């Protein structure tokens, strides 16, 4: 899984080894975490860069109203990751524990049931967004130009929702089976294809926001096809062997497996949905500030996404390594992995935040059609606030990893709900309606991460998650799938 030399892998490894020399984490666990985490971080960077480039291309080609419109469509597209991420949360818990227990005969059913759930849940969402895009975007803004752009984008990007959900499941299958490198190749490759398609559709074919949507749909469909072929055949041309092989024509419906996926995945999906649903009132509040603030917030959020990519790697590495240890009934090692990865994640987030803060102005300018665009200074200040807040995201995400692996997924959902709806959104509203002003938005960024960080870390320090995991652990066995 470390087959290709990568500067990012070396940076993460050096951070881990430095922490080990200080006696803060175990050296062997630092190395294993790095091997599993860095490909996922690369995937995150590729996908978030794709998202950022989308906004930058639209901003350069069309202008501020189009950026705001794509931003208004963002929460609806985010439903793909709430749906797929919820099911995938159950997938990685079941796959990692079965993989750790060498119960390979039980892997296929978990993967097929996950696939069925994603399709059943996401297909109706696609149909509704295709039929009523203007009505949905109009809920967030009265800006006619932004509504027009947002509705056109949403109508077409809706077709990518099932594919995006299936891609999350495919990725979690590989990560749960100790292979994040192959998942990186597939999904990062899809992100690169997406950028290329968008460039053609937006600048060559002049399709504006529709071009950005079509690029997203087609690239996600290609990634889904790659996962389907690779998992079915056990390999894919140009990528190589997959760690597991899944029979695609066996049973897709098993009551116990579906119940486990729903029980574990529903709180994970709800946690992801917190981010999506919270964007609706947040964008409505930002609309009070004006179009420039909406565009600035969209830009800052895209940069935030790039800063948050370490969490993709450390959270999933934690879920996989902790889950495998639990599958072997080794709770002490599971706790040790969870503790070390939290410290590892926070240190890496600090490096990411400092780098972005130093180059904030130069990065923000890339998203506007002019260096003097009015949204630029607003976005820069929001990025500075995000740099402080994102460090606490390292604690929140890494502490949620062991909870997800064990099946204890309700607490991370509750913590995120409290942070977003009871603290962050009220602060943003106070900023829009009182003299607090933009400080309300800065504090909202901070509340979004500090509250979940405190609650998730508290839960990790208890033994409840270990006890909960016992109901999902398979009987150790050795068999072929």
For residues 260-276, give the mean pLDDT: 76
| Burial classification of residue 194, based on how many CB atoms lie within 10 Å of its CB (0-12 exposed, 13-18 middle, 19 or more buried) | buried
Q: What is the value of pTM for the model shown?
A: 0.68
pLDDT of residue 281: 86
pLDDT of residue 20: 93
Domain boundaries, the chain: 7-469
For the chain, count helices (H), then strands (E).
20, 2
- Cβ(217)–Cβ(156) under 8 Å? yes
Q: What is the per-residue pLDDT across 345-397, written as a single tens digit (0 to 9) for each? A: 999 999 889 999 999 888 888 776 667 777 889 999 999 999 999 999 989 98
pLDDT of residue 6: 67
Q: What is the per-residue pLDDT across 426-456, written as a single tens digit (0 to 9) for each? A: 999 999 999 899 999 999 989 999 999 999 9
For residues 259-287, give the mean pLDDT: 79
Q: If you average pLDDT over each of 14-28, 138-152, 199-213, which comes out highest?
A: 14-28
- Centre a 10 Å sphere on the Cβ of residue 170 and count the other Cβ atoms it contains: 29
- Centre a 10 Å sphere on the Cβ of residue 176 and count the other Cβ atoms it contains: 32
**For the chain, first and last CA: distance in Å?**
22
- Cβ(246)–Cβ(83) under 8 Å? no
């Amino acid at each position: 899984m470390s087959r290709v030399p990568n500067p990012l892998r070396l940076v993460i490894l050096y951070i881990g080894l430095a922490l080990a020399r200080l006696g803060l984490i175990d050296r062997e666990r630092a190395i294993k975490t790095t091997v599993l985490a860095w490909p996922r971080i690369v995937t995150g960077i590729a996908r978030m860069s794709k998202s950022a480039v989308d906004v930058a291309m639209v901003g350069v080609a069309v202008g501020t109203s189009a950026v705001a419109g794509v931003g208004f469509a963002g929460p609806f597209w985010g439903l793909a990751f709430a749906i797929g991420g919820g099911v995938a949360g159950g997938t990685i818990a079941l796959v990692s524990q079965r993989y750790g227990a060498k119960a390979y005969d039980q892997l296929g059913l978990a993967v097929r049931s996950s696939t069925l759930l994603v399709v059943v849940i996401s297909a109706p969402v696609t149909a509704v967004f295709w039929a009523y895009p203007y009505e949905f975007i109009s809920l967030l803004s009265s800006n006619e130009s932004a509504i027009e752009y947002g509705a056109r984008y949403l109508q077409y990007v809706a077709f990518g929702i099932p594919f995006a959900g299936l891609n999350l499941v495919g990725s979690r299958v590989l990560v749960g089976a100790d292979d994040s490198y192959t998942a990186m190749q597939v999904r990062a490759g899809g992100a690169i294809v997406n950028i290329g398609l968008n460039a053609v559709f937006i600048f060559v074919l002049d399709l504006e926001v529709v071009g950005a949507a079509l690029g997203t749909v087609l690239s996600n469909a290609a990634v889904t096809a790659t996962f389907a072929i690779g998992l079915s055949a056990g390999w894919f041309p140009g990528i190589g062997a997959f760690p597991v092989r899944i029979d695609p024509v066996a049973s897709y419906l098993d009551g116990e497996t579906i119940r486990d996926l729903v029980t574990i995945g529903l709180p994970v999906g709800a946690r992801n949905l917190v981010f999506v649903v919270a964007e609706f009132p947040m964008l409505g509040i930002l609309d009070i500030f004006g179009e420039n603030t909406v565009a600035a917030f969209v830009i800052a959020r895209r940069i935030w996404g790039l800063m948050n990519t370490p969490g993709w790697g450390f959270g999933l590495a934690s879920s996989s390594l902790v889950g495998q240890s639990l599958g072997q009934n080794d709770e002490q090692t599971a706790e040790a992995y969870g503790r070390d990865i939290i410290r590892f994640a926070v240190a890496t987030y600090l490096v990411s935040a400092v780098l972005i803060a130093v180059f904030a102005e130069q990065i923000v300018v890339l998203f506007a059609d002019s260096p003097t665009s009015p949204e630029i200074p607003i976005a820069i200040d929001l990025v500075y606030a995000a740099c402080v807040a994102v460090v606490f995201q390292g604690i929140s995400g890494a502490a949620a990893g062991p909870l997800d692996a064990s099946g204890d997924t309700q607490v991370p959902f509750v913590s995120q709900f409290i942070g977003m709806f009871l603290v962050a959104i009220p602060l943003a509203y106070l900023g829009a309606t009182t003299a607090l002003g933009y400080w309300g938005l800065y504090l909202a960024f901070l509340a979004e991460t500090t509250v979940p960080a405190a609650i998730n870390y508290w839960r990790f320090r208890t033994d409840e998650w270990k006890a909960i995991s016992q109901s999902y652990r398979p009987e150790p066995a050795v068999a072929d799938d």
